[in-house]
């Protein structure tokens, strides 16, 4: 009998799947880490666990303490689950413009929500600054600070990168993914380079983010926009500092959606848009490296989190995006 000794050990050690369509289309072997298989259904469970463990080890978080973070998404979900398992309170600060689903999910998990008006980063009322202030003012609280706290990328150096290396039998030619905090691309990049300097690390950047121009031309400059959630960064976060990016691709929402659609229709994988953008990036990297290479990427979260957006006909229509053919069918009365 094989049993996990506690719920937190269910985080990480996710399966690696060979993606048939992307492999066929690119002439390379494309593999993907199934991060939707984490308990909170996203890659961010890993960062949440490492941030909490690091704060415990440094004596900052004591029994009954509080974890505060400014996030509307997957990190909040990961933190709430880890906090429940370790006996902490979670306070999540989010802009009131976020989707109802996200608020409902965080409330359902037991997180306390603080809603603030949407404001630019330079405004002290911005949700990230508000979360830092609440942490400072709350007895026994830590500020998770996922963007600049490098416990985030450590989760990917010692976890995700090691797992990819082992699961691919040490034969890895390239790795690529998009960046939100940058913890995944920097951590997996550093971890794989430590195994083999020759692994090519790629960044798949959505429109509206500034990193493509930074790595290509040394200038943080954003162009266009994207509806992808959880990715798209405008600055070099603490986690991105020293990230070993060798090559970068700009990926449109439609390119990402193309793979979201195909992976669902042909391989039965229901994913979010950042996963589709990563797979589009893997195909682009495969074309750059040439046929026969072995490339890894990340399937960041489950599509079930986006039923009212990516998988909703009216929403896709309102954004001018291609509608999945099966969403066009009329239901029988």
Shorter beta-carbon distance to ligand PMP: residue 134 or 273: 273
The interface with ligand PMP within residues 170-189 (CB under 6 A) comprises: 178-184
Residue (69 or 229) nearer to ligand PMP, CB: 229
Residue whose CB is nearest to ligand PMP in the complex, by number = 230
Residue 93: which of 103, 84, 78, 108 has the closest Cα? 103
Catalytic position from the list 44, 102, 154, 293: 44
Q: Considering the complex, what minimum distance in angstroms separates the CB of residue 171 from ligand PMP?
A: 24
41-60: which residues touch ligand PMP (CB under 6 A)?
42-44
Closest CA to 173 of 164, 184, 182, 181: 164
Q: Does 300 bind ligand PMP (CB under 6 A)?
A: yes
CB nearer to ligand PMP: give 22 or 187. Answer: 187
Residues 212 to 251: which contact ligand PMP by CB under 6 A?
229-231
Q: How far is the CB of 74 from ligand PMP (least distance, A)?
A: 4
Between 19 and 65, name the residue whose CB sits nearer to ligand PMP. Answer: 19
Give the shortest CB-59-to-ligand PMP separation in angstroms: 26
Q: Look up residue 153 and give its two tokens.
A: 């990328």
37 binds ligand PMP (CB under 6 A): no
User: Is residue 44 among the annotated active site residues?
Assistant: yes
Pick between residue 43 and residue 168 the one whose CB is nearest to ligand PMP.
Answer: 43
3-state secondary structure the chain: CCCCCCHHHHCCCCCEEECHHHHHHHCCEEEEEEHHHCCCCECHHHHHHHHHHHHHHCCCCCCCCEEEEECCCHHHHHHHHHHHHHCCEEEEEEECCCCHHHHHHHHHHCCEEEEECCCCCCCCCCHHHHHHHHHHHCCCEEECCCCCCCHHHHHHHHHHHHHHHHHCCCCCCEEEECCCCCHHHHHHHHHHHHHCCCCEEEEEEECCCCHHHHHHHCCCCCCCCCCCCCCCCCCCCCCCCCCCCCEEEEECHHHHHHHHHHHHHHHCCCECHHHHHHHHHHHHHHHHHCCCCEEEEEECEEHHHHCCCCCCHHHHHHCCCCCCHHHCCCCCC
Q: Least CB distance from residue 50 to ligand PMP, whole Å?
A: 11
Does position 281 interact with ligand PMP (CB under 6 A)? The reply is: no
Segment contacting ligand PMP by CB under 6 A, of 37-45, 102-110, 113-121, 289-297: 37-45
Using the rule CB under 6 A, which residue among 23, 274, 297, 302 binds ligand PMP?
Answer: 274
Q: Which residues, numbered 61-90, are part of the site for ligand PMP (CB under 6 A)?
A: 73-74
Q: Which residues pair with 89 in a beta bridge?
A: 66
Residue with tokens 């996200």: 102
- Does residue 191 bind ligand PMP (CB under 6 A)? no
C-beta of 4 vs 225, nearer to ligand PMP: 225
Count of residues that interact with ligand PMP, criterion CB under 6 A = 19
- For ligand PMP, which is the closer residue by CB, 65 or 283? 283
Strands 200-206 and 247-251 turn out to be parallel
Stretch that binds ligand PMP, among 1-9, 36-44, 162-170, 209-217 (CB under 6 A): 36-44
Q: Are 313 and 328 in contact (CB under 8 A)?
A: yes
Chain residues in the site for ligand PMP (CB under 6 A): 42-44, 73-74, 178-184, 229-231, 272, 274, 300-301
Catalytic machinery residues: 44
């Amino acid at each position: 009998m094989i049993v996990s000794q506690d719920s937190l050990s269910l985080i990480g050690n996710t399966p690696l799947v060979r993606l048939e369509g992307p492999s066929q289309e690119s002439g390379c072997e494309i593999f993907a880490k199934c991060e939707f298989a984490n308990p909170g259904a996203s890659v961010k469970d890993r960062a949440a666990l490492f941030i909490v463990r690091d704060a415990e080890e440094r004596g900052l978080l004591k029994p009954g303490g509080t974890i505060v973070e400014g996030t509307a998404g997957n990190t909040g979900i990961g933190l709430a689950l880890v906090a429940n398992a370790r006996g902490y309170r979670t306070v999540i600060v989010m802009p009131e413009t976020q989707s109802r689903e996200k608020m409902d999910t965080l409330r359902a998990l037991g997180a306390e929500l603080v809603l603030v008006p949407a404001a630019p980063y330079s405004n002290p009322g911005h949700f990230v600054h508000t979360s830092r202030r609440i942490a400072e003012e709350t007895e026994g609280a830590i500020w998770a600070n996922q963007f600049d706290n490098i416990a985030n990328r450590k989760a990917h150096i010692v976890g995700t990168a090691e797992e990819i290396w082992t699961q691919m039998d040490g034969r890895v030619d390239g790795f690529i993914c998009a960046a939100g905090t940058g913890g995944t691309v920097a951590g997996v990049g550093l971890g794989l380079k430590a195994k083999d300097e020759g692994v090519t690390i790629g960044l798949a950047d959505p429109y509206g983010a500034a990193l493509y121009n930074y790595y290509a031309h040394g200038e943080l400059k954003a162009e266009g926009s994207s509806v992808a959630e959880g990715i798209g960064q405008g600055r070099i976060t603490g986690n991105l500092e020293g990230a070993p990016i060798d090559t970068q691709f700009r990926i449109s929402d439609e390119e990402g959606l193309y793979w979201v659609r195909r992976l669902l229709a042909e391989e039965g994988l229901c994913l979010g848009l950042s996963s589709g953008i990563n797979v589009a990036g893997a195909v682009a990297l495969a074309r750059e490296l040439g046929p026969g290479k072995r490339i890894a990427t990340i399937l960041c979260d489950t599509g079930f989190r986006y039923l009212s957006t990516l998988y909703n006909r009216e929403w896709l229509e309102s954004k001018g995006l291609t509608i999945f053919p099966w969403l066009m069918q009329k239901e029988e009365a």
